[in-house]
Amino acid sequence: MPPRPPASRSRLATAARAVALASLFALAGCARTDDDSTGSKPGSELSGVLLDLQLSEVSGLAASHRHDGVLWLHDDGDNPPRLFAVNERGGRLATFRIEDITKTDWEDIATFELEGKRYLLIADTGDNGGLRRTLQLHVVEEPATLRNARLKPAWSIAFRWPDGARDCEAVAVDARRGEILLVSKKRQPPELFSLPLRPPAGELLTAQPLATLDGMPEPDPARLKHAPERAKHDGQVTAASVSPDGTTLAVMTYRYLLLYPRAEGDNWADAVSGTPRTSVLPWLPQAEALGWDADGRSLYATGEFIPAPLYRITP
């Protein structure tokens, strides 16, 4: 058969994308009717859809505090060290290459303000094989303009775990307390650790254990029966985010959203030792990216596949 003309290939690609989108919206709509005895669904709406092939492995999300309606995303795996600026509909606005670092496995991102400047913290903390002896966190100043550019870290943090390697895909920042929070993924119950946000340069730090997270949902019996492997992973933590006012830690697993409020005078160890508000996520296979919006009223969430829904969730 002769090669298909470019115009025909373009029409086929457009048609395939349309079919994928229709399937995505249908599945997302069906998922909103699911019932689950372990928690209630929060209010959620489909803000947009990620279609750009460069966004096929999104593993971290944070809402900009400098540009209205802009979200910061990054991917993991063997992709270059880069950040994506996207709008609330999921359209890519700009790509930023991070220089002078080695990327191993980026798994989360957080926005914060410190001393009048706005920053992004990138967590190179993934360790599926449990082999990494040291891990890195990189802080870059949030770009003032949304044009493709290269960035250099304002500072980086190298650290290790106190008692051996572990996988970690959830990292959040509480700038008011000068604290970075890290939540382990595969251990049950998940563990909460902390690091200083602005440590002395050049030191290898040891993450400090704070507590284990209370209230993690047990595997759903019906899902254990029909999809046992998926059900066993439902409670693994894949993202975390501290609300802009510093009062709530949001924790995402593959199936659930947990909100841990922190009372005045309490620390985060106190907060995660209490009972969280637990809800079932909207339909989101491979849920890996979560972040509060700039005003702290809702959260954005998406996953690691294309096309992927971009949800706005109101707890």
- Cβ neighbours around 179 below 10 Å, total: 19
Which long-range contacts does 285-289 make (Cβ < 8 Å, 24+ apart)?
Answer: 286/254, 287/238, 287/239, 287/252, 287/253, 287/254, 287/255, 288/58, 288/59, 288/60, 288/107, 288/169, 288/238, 288/239, 288/252, 289/58, 289/59, 289/60, 289/61, 289/73, 289/238, 289/239
- Give kind and range of the element (H or E) at residue 232: helix 228-233
Distance CA 91, CA 267 (A): 38
Domain boundaries of the chain, sorted by first residue: 32-314
Per-residue pLDDT, 13? 40
pLDDT of residue 22: 44
- Under DSSP, is residue 272 helix (H, G, I), strand (E, B) or coil? helix
Give the pLDDT confidence score for residue 42 in this predicted structure: 64
Other beta carbons less than 10 A from residue 182's beta carbon: 26
**Dihedral sign, Cα of residue 244, residue 272, residue 136, residue 52:** negative
Instruction: Please give the model's pTM, rounded to 2 decimal places.
Output: 0.89
pLDDT of residue 237: 98
pLDDT reported for residue 9: 42
* DSSP-based three-state secondary structure for 213: coil
Residue 41 pLDDT: 55
Which pair of structure tokens corresponds to residue 262?
Answer: 């922190």
Helix (H, G, I), strand (E, B) or coil at 169: strand
The pLDDT, as a whole number, for residue 219 is 86
- Per-residue pLDDT tens, the chain, 315 aa: give them: 444 444 444 443 433 444 445 445 544 444 443 444 444 456 999 999 999 999 999 999 999 999 999 999 999 878 999 999 999 999 999 999 999 999 999 999 999 999 999 999 999 999 999 999 999 999 999 999 999 999 999 999 999 999 999 999 999 999 999 999 999 999 999 999 999 999 999 999 999 999 999 999 998 888 898 888 888 899 999 999 999 999 999 999 999 999 999 999 999 999 999 999 999 999 998 999 999 999 999 999 999 999 999 999 999
How would CATH label the architecture of 32-314? 6 Propeller (2.120)
